[in-house]
Amino acid sequence: MSSRLGRLLLIALALVFLAMFLVLPLIIVFVEALSKGFGAYLAAVSDPLALAAVQLTLLVAAITVPLNMIFGIAAAWAIAKFDFRGKSALITLIDLPFAVSPVIAGLIFILVFGGNGWFGGWLQAHGVHVVFAVPGIVLATIFVTFPFVARELIPVMQAQGKDDEETALSLGADGWQTFWRVTLPNIRWGLLYGVLLCNARAMGEFGAVSVVSGHVRGLTNTMPLHVEILYNEYNVAAAFSVASLLALLALLTLAAKSLLESRAPELRRRAHQSRDLARRERV
């Protein structure tokens, strides 16, 4: 009896915690966004500066995500399918962006590409602007989101081993055919999952981007930066309106993620079931 009470208490505690820290803020975002009515919400969201921020965020994600998808696949491929010296160092390096504060990540790019940085002078002399411009934002975002795809794929690829690829080669396939027809289909769910998380982070990144962006409205302002500017100008309703777009993105990501999770394990479980069933049959 008392253990049952304890269990209920624990569940209630967890629910209250969840409500306070996750559900409540989410509700507040939408309540605040709509506090001045739906018209004001639409006006805030369709403001040219807000639209420019949305556009920039989409552009950054459109560049970052495919690149990190390629990097992630290449890194996971190398780590999972080959043995080489310095492999564990590479794994640690891939995790570096998780370990480093995003602000530091931003500062690194200032130090390297900024006006007084290593390559800054040379780049400026040749008319290339990295820091306080779109290229810097893209670089900082690539850095911060680098581990997502690779981290997701390494265990998947390691579990699958090399047999499938070696079989394909022995059947006469070349490297590309093996990749497109055998490797990619085997990792598609993990890849999609990693890309989803990478995208969410790319669109939502604040710290690193804030350092390199320079906050030029309409030019180098991404959505999260735009939210901050509006908020600092006491334009709370507009700030929350733009924030609500990011929140919607987060919800969509979550929905897609749980859909994937429910789909992939189901596939796996179904495979297990039929395997067990088949094992009992005769050849």
Per CB under 8 A, 271 contacts another protein: yes
Choosing from 63, 182, 230, 247, the residue that interacts with another protein (CB under 8 A) is 182
Hey, what are 155's tokens?
Answer: 């265990």
Find the DSSP H helices in 128-235. 134-145, 147-160, 163-170, 175-178, 184-204, 207-213, 223-232
Per CB under 8 A, 126 contacts another protein: no
Q: How far is residue 242's CA from residue 226's CA, in Å, rounded to a whole number? A: 8
Choosing from 35, 92, 177, 258, the residue that interacts with another protein (CB under 8 A) is 177
Phi-psi region of 215 (alpha: psi -120 to 50; beta: other; left: phi over 0): left
Hey, what are 38's tokens?
Answer: 């739906």
Choosing from 163, 232, 234, 262, the residue that interacts with another protein (CB under 8 A) is 163
Per CB under 8 A, 124 contacts another protein: no
> In this chain, which stretch among 1-9, 14-22, 193-201, 268-276 interacts with another protein, using CB under 8 A?
268-276
Choosing from 37, 66, 185, 265, the residue that interacts with another protein (CB under 8 A) is 185
> In this chain, which stretch among 24-32, 34-42, 251-259, 271-279 interacts with another protein, using CB under 8 A?
271-279
Per CB under 8 A, 172 contacts another protein: yes
Could you give the C-alpha distances from 90 to 78, 101, 118, 252, in angstroms and in order?
10, 19, 25, 33
DSSP 44-101: HHHSHHHHHHHHHHHHHHHHHHHHHHHHHHHHHHHHHH---TTHHHHHHHHHHHHHS-
> In this chain, which stretch among 43-51, 67-75, 140-148, 266-274 interacts with another protein, using CB under 8 A?
266-274
Residue with tokens 């079989």, as numbered in its chain: 167
For another protein (CB under 8 A), the number of binding residues is 25
Per CB under 8 A, 168 contacts another protein: yes
Residue 31: half-sphere exposure toward Cβ, Cα within 13 Å: 6
Residue with smaller CB distance to another protein, 45 or 173: 173
Per CB under 8 A, 166 contacts another protein: yes
Per CB under 8 A, 270 contacts another protein: yes
Choosing from 67, 173, 229, 237, the residue that interacts with another protein (CB under 8 A) is 173
Q: Report DSSP state, residue 183.
A: I
Choosing from 116, 170, 232, 262, the residue that interacts with another protein (CB under 8 A) is 170
Residues 6+ apart with CB under 8 A from 210: 103, 106, 224, 225, 228
Per CB under 8 A, 164 contacts another protein: yes
Give the interface with another protein as residue ranges (CB under 8 A). 163-164, 166-174, 177, 181-182, 185-186, 270-271, 274-275, 278-279, 281-283
